Structure 1
Amino acid sequence: MWRLLIGELYPDAEFPEPAKEALFWRIEENLGLPVPPELVELLRETNGVHNEYGDAVVWPAERIVEDNLAIRAEPDHHELYAPFDDLMFFGDSDMGPQFAYVHTGYGPGIVKWDHETDERRLAVVSLRDYLARCLGQDNDWFR
């Protein structure tokens, strides 16, 4: 399903091998957050997604763990930013913003985070909408 959608939005997309199942548990165990089912489904089909500019729209599962742990461990981040405990970063633009699932009492949504201002704005409510904006005609929004 995800490969088909991505291929429709970005016909030149390349698809890496699927993520290993054990990585989903590693993400949850290390971050203390559930991996949203739609992200698990995508990573089971392709371990990451890049757009036409080479931006990692969806990181490989290994990077999801590594980058989230790194951002939580950076001592300066505790002084500069609000806590990251309810965020699971999973994609970025080389031009600046990063994207994360935010876990709320109402379910996950996807926020766009600006590391310069610590602004966290709800961007979309589903991975499908996120990919449509990042890979489709509205990809300037992503940058």
Structure 2
Amino acid sequence: MKKIIIINGPNLNLLGTREPEIYGNLSFTEFLEKLQEKYPKVEIDYYQSNVEGELINKLQEVGFSYDGIILNAAAYTHTSVGIADAVKAIKTPVVEVHISNTFGREAFRHTSYISPNAKGVILGFGLQSYELAVQSFVH
């Protein structure tokens, strides 16, 4: 059985209520339940934090024992050299995910410190971006 963790960064705990025109109306908990039902042979763990250091700690904790990490570092994608270094330092492959198309938003969102160290990047498909990332580890 594959063991994958989804790690979400700041403000993603507000999915379902935060800017529904960008992020949709479904909470991440509701989405995660559906995802786990769809992939019963994959253990999908979940972690969310608004704190940069906690995200780094989690990456280091799981980065040598999981089969895959799906990381949506949210705004830290564009600012955190620390998270980028953590992704580079671990052995577990990381797929960078974004719900929105970051290239269709403000210019500062066009830069990712994580992408150069990620297995791949999926963005702009709403919550479906996470499922595409799961598929990249399963198939």
Q: Assess same fold via TM > 0.5.
A: no
Give TM class, smaller chain: 0.3 to 0.5
The TM-score, its normalising length taken from structure 1, stands at 0.34
Greater relative contact order, per chain length (Cα 8 Å cut-off, separation 6+) = 2
User: Which protein has the bigger helix share?
Assistant: 2
